[in-house]
Structure 1
Amino acid sequence: MNSLSRRTTLGLIASGLAAPAFAQADYPSRPVTVIVPQAAGGANDIIGRLVSEKLSEVMGQRFVVENRAGAGGNLGSQAAARSTPDGYTLLVTISASQAINPALYARTGFDPVKDFAPVSLLGTVPNVLVVNPSFEAKTVADLIRMAKEKPGFYHYASAGNGTLNHLVGEMLKSRAGIDLKHIPYRGIAPALSDVIAGHVPITFANLPAAISQIQAGTVRALGVSTLKRNSFVPDVPTIAETVPGFDAELWIALYAIAGTPQPIIDKLVAGTHRALQAPDIKAKFAQQGAEVVTSTPAELAAKLDADLKVWAEIVKASGARIE
């Protein structure tokens, strides 16, 4: 660099004009906060921690998870949306918060599209349709046939009004043209317990919550909600094999804050994809019933856009609303 260039650069730094470019080149130069808008111990939290640990390794700086639970994920998402868009606050969130809450809540306090910059998908977790072992239906086709023969006769349990497993049930009703009666519980554990006890024949649960009961034979799995079969339960067919196009997966994704400089986004995309290629990540995801999935920012943006439309339609049909 000649003396004129050095003087120009030093002058820009002194005036603050060149500082952002230098900051982007050095990113990350200090610890990065990864907000998880759900409580510790859930699938999103565990996956957020696994990915943050690997990002710390591949990007040479600590990525630290901060749980900010409340209002179905809205509180943590609000906090992230109000952060400085410098790459030092990120959001690991789930489709239930990002794609369903805008239709479900009267006020979320954040805009899932305008407030965030997509980085990459991290993984997917299927929901699984399970029934009491004594229930007559042995397949999804059986259940649909029985429900059409007796509209409104069969009941399904969920973790509560507006939860993903409630809305997956509403999606099946809509796509298959059947009428099932919804019984909301306060969480998936009591819903599963009543299915096991035979008080309610059907529920939709995320795979991590149901897998031990499926393996023990206390519930029987009829179908997973993803377009492809899950490697953790490969013998369980997809609901889409009976109801074409049925797709109600829970996805987990990494977002930066809207306005984050593109060079930082690019570094995060590259770092995330490297982190998810680590040999042990796939096995650790599988322990949570999740599968590793990556995407470009544009692919994640398109997925969110599509899901916002799908779930707005399902929420409206269900009548679910949280003020």
Structure 2
Amino acid sequence: MKFFNRLQMSRILPIGGLLILLCYFLQIARADEAFPSKPIKLVVPFAPGGATDVIGRLMAQKLSESLKMAVIVDNKPGAGSVLGTDFTAKAAPDGYTWVMTNGSAITTGPLLRQSMPYKAMDDFAHVFVIGTFPNAFVVRTESPIKSFAEFVAHARSNPGKLNYSSAGIGSAGYLTGEMLKQIGQLNMTHVAYKGTGPATIDLLGGQIDALFDGVPTAITQAKAGKVRLLAVTGAKRISSHPDLPTMNEVLPGVIGEAWFGLSAPAKTPVAILEKMETELMRIVAASDVQTKLIDLGMSPLSLGRKDSTAFIRADTNRWEPIIKTANIKID
């Protein structure tokens, strides 16, 4: 009798376990099919008003229309976008909390900081890269330098005499300057300012020789006759100024761009990730969205889950030797 009971139990237990697993997966499937059943939070780890916030609100608006559910922007600035990104890493992996990820939080940030509260690749499901933000490299209109090739030649023939500025230490422009110096073997000095506003004033006043600035701002200043555009820092020329070369064309390998995407906490159900990826692909492909992003200075990419992960790894690999060689730390 005891043998029979053991035999019976040995058969029942595996079946019971399978039934429990089946119920679990059916429950997940039903939850995914119902997604979204409540408002979604999109964390923007920057203060309201900037280009990142505008893009985040554009994505939230379009997703709300597409999903027939409110997508609410939650600005959580701080620590160079680490604060809001960390908030999302620690959120429930149920598909209802997303973050506007970016290079300073995911790729360059971990290389620049002594420690991070999250693991950039392990604690997130990186679902979509919207696009990249190149900078423009400018001089004042009175400068005798007419092109980026001339700038490089002038820097090489006058080592230690040229200076330049950016949005600040750790910014995409600052890091691109370090890349430019290393790849081009240029001896130049970075002059630190708290933002490109004060730096522009000194550029126009002749205190600094060149500046990495956002493309829209630089174009506005160029149209006003205040600065001369020498190059853009992206991998490709920008559509609004197709005659403006990239730095990469003069010095191969000099590519410096900020990027922005959408990520969810790791372990978010795959079906939800796939649904959001599909929606984002469709949204960013729309002509009105493309126009808006380009007007903001972005080069749209529309990279899905697989390509986003590869892009992020490549971005990390591009910056790691530059940052290590320059021994840059921001905390």
TM-score by length of 2: 0.90
Pairwise CA distance, 1:115? 1.0
- In structure 2, how many angstroms separate the alpha carbons of the residues matched to 1:189 and 1:106? 29
- In structure 2, how many angstroms separate the alpha carbons of the residues matched to 1:164 and 1:126? 8
Out of 114, 119, 126, the position equivalent to 1:118 is 126
Out of 192, 201, 208, the position equivalent to 1:193 is 201
Pairwise CA distance, 1:12? 7.2
Pairwise CA distance, 1:16? 6.3
Pairwise CA distance, 1:255? 0.9
- The answer to whether the 8 Å contact 2:176/2:255 transfers is no
Q: Which residue of 2 aligns with 1:294?
A: 302
- In structure 2, how many angstroms separate the alpha carbons of the residues matched to 1:131 and 1:261? 50
Greater Cα offset, 182-191 or 104-113: 104-113
Out of 81, 89, 93, the position equivalent to 1:85 is 93
Question: Aligned pair in 2 of structure 1 residues 152, 251: CA closer, same or farther (>3 Å)?
Answer: same
Amino acid at match of 2:269: P
Tell me whether 1:129 sits opposite 2:134 in the alignment.
Answer: no
Tell me whether 1:271 sits opposite 2:279 in the alignment.
Answer: yes
- In structure 1, how many angstroms separate the alpha carbons of the residues matched to 2:79 and 2:249? 35
- In structure 2, how many angstroms separate the alpha carbons of the residues matched to 1:317 and 1:162? 14
Out of 137, 144, 153, the position equivalent to 1:145 is 153
Structure 1, residues 219-244: CA drift from partner, whole Å, max 9, x if none?
Answer: 11100011211112222111111112
- The answer to whether the 8 Å contact 2:173/2:212 transfers is yes
Q: Which residue of 2 aligns with 1:7?
A: none
Tell me whether 1:165 sits opposite 2:173 in the alignment.
Answer: yes
Where 2:302 maps in the other structure, the secondary structure is: coil
Runs in 1 of length 4+ with deviation above 6 angstroms? none
Q: Which residue of 2 aligns with 1:6?
A: none
Amino acid at match of 2:199: A
- The answer to whether the 8 Å contact 1:124/1:249 transfers is yes
Structure 1, residues 131-161: CA drift from partner, whole Å, max 9, x if none?
Answer: 1112222111111111111111100112222
TM-score by length of 1: 0.92
Where 1:309 maps in the other structure, the secondary structure is: helix
Structure 1, residues 236-274: CA drift from partner, whole Å, max 9, x if none?
Answer: 111111112322121111111111111111101100011
Pairwise CA distance, 1:37? 0.8
Tell me whether 1:245 sits opposite 2:257 in the alignment.
Answer: no
Pairwise CA distance, 1:87? 0.8
- In structure 2, how many angstroms separate the alpha carbons of the residues matched to 1:305 and 1:291? 19
- In structure 1, how many angstroms separate the alpha carbons of the residues matched to 2:298 and 2:20? 48
Where 1:123 maps in the other structure, the secondary structure is: strand
For structure 2, which runs of at least 5 residues remain unmatched after alignment?
1-18
Counterparts of residues 57-96 of structure 1 (less than 5 Å): 57-96=65-104
- In structure 1, how many angstroms separate the alpha carbons of the residues matched to 2:277 and 2:25? 26
- The answer to whether the 8 Å contact 1:232/1:289 transfers is no
Q: Which structure has the bigger radius of gyration? A: 2
Greater Cα offset, 63-72 or 290-299: 290-299
- In structure 2, how many angstroms separate the alpha carbons of the residues matched to 1:181 and 1:69? 30
- In structure 2, how many angstroms separate the alpha carbons of the residues matched to 1:248 and 1:322? 19
Pairwise CA distance, 1:46? 0.8
Pairwise CA distance, 1:49? 0.9
Pairwise CA distance, 1:286? 2.1
- In structure 2, how many angstroms separate the alpha carbons of the residues matched to 1:302 and 1:190? 37
Amino acid at match of 2:174: H
For structure 1, which runs of at least 5 residues remain unmatched after alignment?
1-10
Amino acid at match of 1:141: A
Amino acid at match of 1:259: K
- In structure 2, how many angstroms separate the alpha carbons of the residues matched to 1:179 and 1:270? 47
- In structure 1, how many angstroms separate the alpha carbons of the residues matched to 2:112 and 2:97? 26
Greater Cα offset, 61-70 or 307-316: 307-316
- In structure 1, how many angstroms separate the alpha carbons of the residues matched to 2:60 and 2:316? 27
Where 1:41 maps in the other structure, the secondary structure is: coil
Counterparts of residues 305-316 of structure 1 (less than 5 Å): 305-316=313-324
Pairwise CA distance, 1:17? 6.1
Q: Which residue of 1 aligns with 2:9?
A: none
Q: Which residue of 1 aligns with 2:330?
A: 322
- In structure 2, how many angstroms separate the alpha carbons of the residues matched to 1:51 and 1:42? 14
Counterparts of residues 199-210 of structure 1 (less than 5 Å): 199-210=207-218
* Percent identical: 36
Question: What is the count of residue pairs matched by the alignment?
Answer: 313
Tell me whether 1:231 sits opposite 2:223 in the alignment.
Answer: no
- In structure 1, how many angstroms separate the alpha carbons of the residues matched to 2:185 and 2:318? 16
- In structure 2, how many angstroms separate the alpha carbons of the residues matched to 1:100 and 1:205? 19
- The answer to whether the 8 Å contact 2:281/2:304 transfers is no
